[in-house]
Structure 1
Amino acid sequence: MPATKRHAARTALPTPTAAQPGGTGRPAKGADAASPTAADRVSRLAPDPTADKPLYLQLVDNLSAAIAAGQWGPGETLPPERVLCEQLSVSRVTLRMAVDAMVEQGLVTRRQGAGTFVRPSIEHALSSLTSFSEVLRQQGHQPGTQWIEQLLRRAHGEEILRLGLSPDSMVASLTRLRSSDGKVMAYERAVVPARLVPDPKKIGDSLYAYLDARGSPVVRALQHFKAVSLNARLAQYLQMREGEAVLRVVRVGYARDGNAIELTDTFCHNDYYDFVAELRR
């Protein structure tokens, strides 16, 4: 899996739905404004009209603090706009300015026709070679893998060039959905020379852990980032709309001897990923 911030026989895979891994996940508790718990959570967000700070910035501060304190969890729906305006005694313009600011900060995300959600975020430093699964576990999340393809086949096209293979070389082709706590985070296609992965079905949730165990770790990698529009098939898997922009990450991993041994193409769900780079002088 690419280093990221906030990736045998063919197996059939049905289109993901809310009931499958990668579905909508936990219930949207925030929308139940009638419950005492929801009403109490909303009341704590109320801005102080006598304060010098603008009301919308107070709302940003209060809601950010509530999210940080776990009062609204990742993926949870915030109460409807009408409910928030009524209970907080603010105008829709004020509320929308606050939500716009939080969208810009990456704290919440809007989904047309569904509402505003607390944004789950996976951070992975761009300088790290830690696997996707390990990063999730370190951050208290449960990684998941839904396999689309695990098979051996002949290398072709860009794979031959990037991995320095002969035209008749065999590769392990590994295509899967990567998830965190049941939510689909990325669509990933990885290709590795067959000599390193003779039985693709033996790979669990981490390709890197498998390669480490075989004594062939990826010790260095180059990544290329590009914004692309989703086609209909990828949009279904990522539970997004066709034509939406996502980040495509092409990664080439190298072994200790300098040979390329991994080519991974990942399409990252734009609601969940944060790419972090630390710069020093």
Structure 2
Amino acid sequence: MPSPTFSPLYRQIKDFLIRSLEVGEWGPGDAIPSEGELATRFSVSQGTVRKAIDEMAAENLLVRRQGKGTFVATHDDPRSFYRFLRLVSDDGTVTHTVSDPFSCELQSATPEVASVLGLQVGDRVLCVERLLRFNGEPVVFDQIYLVADLFAGLSLEKLRGGERSLYSLFESDFGVRMINAEEHLRAVAADPYSAGLLGVPEGSPLLLVERTAYTYGNKPVEWRRGLYCTRQHYYRNDLG
């Protein structure tokens, strides 16, 4: 008979806090109660609450602000723009990045898309196509598949409006916050369609980055296939 799984007390408090975020008790950008108030609420020590909050801050769920308190992380924070984007210019300079969406349409989920997003084959998904331009040059071609029921009303016009990142738009207009992501990388050759969009010869080497993004409860809500042109950029990932 398997033994019951033990969860440390601070992890239990963390789970309670995450559920509170998921149901909207505190929204993106809101201040959460103090450690003392939370300790009283859960009948635990402040040290236990602090450990739970420390872990959530490390996972970008919460943000500590010196002298102000602890706040729910938000994609509206400019520091969170393109949070998962790991492409860096070869010379290390900061480049001006612009999202240029050019297609947004309902599709039926293929077996591959359905498997990643936890849907049935044929369920409705939204497919967004866009270019990411670095200093005006197309560098990334994204095909983004979204669970359609979560993004009712999303249109190309809405995607093109303003200077917000996609994740900021998803958070503020649809109440969907991307918490974490998983990526798979491989080298591929540019097909005629992507070559034309990125301005490279057909067959040129590109980096394919397949990313699944999750919201609260580890629910997959977005799958994207990004084709990265690395002629003047490299993919950087900080480990540890």
TM-score when normalising by structure 1:
0.50
Matching residue of 2:197: 237
Matching residue of 1:145: 100
Q: What stretches of structure 1 of length at least 5 have no aligned partner?
A: 7-73, 75-105, 108-120, 123-138
CA distance in structure 2 between the aligned counterparts of 1:220 and 1:171, rounded to whole angstroms: 20
Contact 2:105-2:127 within 8 A present in 1 as well: yes
1:193 and 1:239, CA in 2 relative to 1: closer, same or farther beyond 3 A?
A: same
Contact 1:144-1:181 within 8 A present in 2 as well: no
CA distance in structure 2 between the aligned counterparts of 1:206 and 1:279, rounded to whole angstroms: 25
Matching residue of 1:111: none
Across the two proteins, how many residue pairs are aligned to each other? 152
Compute the displacement of 1:142 (Å): 4.6
Q: What stretches of structure 2 of length at least 5 have no aligned partner?
A: 1-81
**Equivalence map 1:50-89=2 (5 Å):** none
Q: Which amino acid aligns with 1:206?
A: S
Contact 2:95-2:134 within 8 A present in 1 as well: no
Q: Which amino acid aligns with 1:265?
A: R
Matching residue of 1:174: 128
CA distance in structure 2 between the aligned counterparts of 1:247 and 1:142, rounded to whole angstroms: 18
Superposition CA RMSD, Å: 2.1
Q: Which runs of at least 4 in structure 1 moved beyond 4 Å after TM superposition?
A: none
CA distance in structure 2 between the aligned counterparts of 1:188 and 1:4, rounded to whole angstroms: 14
Tell me the percent identity: 21
Match of 1:271 among 225, 231, 240: 231
CA distance in structure 1 between the aligned counterparts of 2:100 and 2:229, rounded to whole angstroms: 15
**Structure with the bigger percentage of strand:** 2
CA distance in structure 2 between the aligned counterparts of 1:239 and 1:208, rounded to whole angstroms: 27
Compute the displacement of 1:167 (Å): 2.5
Compute the displacement of 1:200 (Å): 2.8
Compute the displacement of 1:140 (Å): 5.7
Matching residue of 2:50: none
**Equivalence map 1:117-196=2 (5 Å):** 139=94, 141-147=96-102, 149-196=103-150
